Chain A
Amino acid sequence: DTGVSQDPRHKITKRGQNVTFRCDPISEHNRLYWYRQTLGQGPEFLTYFQNEAQLEKSRLLSDRFSAERPKGSFSTLEIQRTEQGDSAMYLCASSRGLQPQHFGDGTRLSIL
């Protein structure tokens, strides 16, 4: 069990650029979640997948955000036309069914 892996760990980009993050869940975990955490706050839910199906999206997930999990294994989260307010830690978690969610170390996004 290698844990949830996220790449990159840090991303610095200019406002208006597109960014993409990757998450590799624990193998055989069928559920995968994305959360966003800003400084001094707890994580906030963005979206989740069961296998390859995206089953729920938060209202925090604006039109500039898109997430995929094409083969039911790894997932990508893309942010288009980044804004200053997108600066945050993006956390991925996975679970086997209703079992507890296990988190990766996150991708910290900084918008210049």
Chain B
Amino acid sequence: GEDVEQSLFLSVREGDSSVINCTYTDSSSTYLYWYKQEPGAGLQLLTYIFSNMDMKQDQRLTVLLNKKDKHLSLRIADTQTGDSAIYFCAEIMDTGRRALTFGSGTRLQVQP
């Protein structure tokens, strides 16, 4: 079945690294995504990783994928106050279905 889980809340100090975690249950996932949502806005695509990769780095963002444990993480280096938002993990499965399945989101609060 489809199930993506995330912790609800993370608080960090400005300048520290943030690590947001996600677990998924469907081993047929092909692409895994991280989206950012600010209050009252839509979702902004941050990064994505294909299931045959272990890691992807893009500027301050590092995505790690552990396929054995079905665990995905997003690390934000040098976290800034502008990074405060809700972060969603999402997957697309290798069943021909093109819909994204989202977790409930992790609220990141960055303290000055």
Contacts and interface: CB of A to CB of B under 8 A. Distances in A.
Given A100-B33, A100-B48, A42 B103 contact: yes
Which has the most chain A C-beta neighbours within 10 Å: B41, B42, B90, B103?
A: B42
B104 interface: yes
Contacts of B42: 4, 6, 91, 103-106
A31 interface: yes
Contact of B98 (A43, A56, A58, A103): A56
A45 B99 contact: yes
Contact size range, A: 20 to 34
Given A42-B88, A42-B105, A106-B42, A101 B100 contact: yes
B44 interface: yes
Nearest to B43: A103
Main secondary structure of the interface of B (DSSP, over half): strand
A95 B98 CA distance: 10
Given A40-B104, A41-B104, A42-B104, A100 B99 contact: no
Contacts of B4: 42
17 contacts: A41-B104, A41-B105, A42-B104, A44-B102, A45-B101, A48-B99, A56-B98, A56-B99, A58-B99, A91-B42, A93-B43, A100-B48, A103-B43, A103-B45, A104-B42, A105-B42, A106-B41
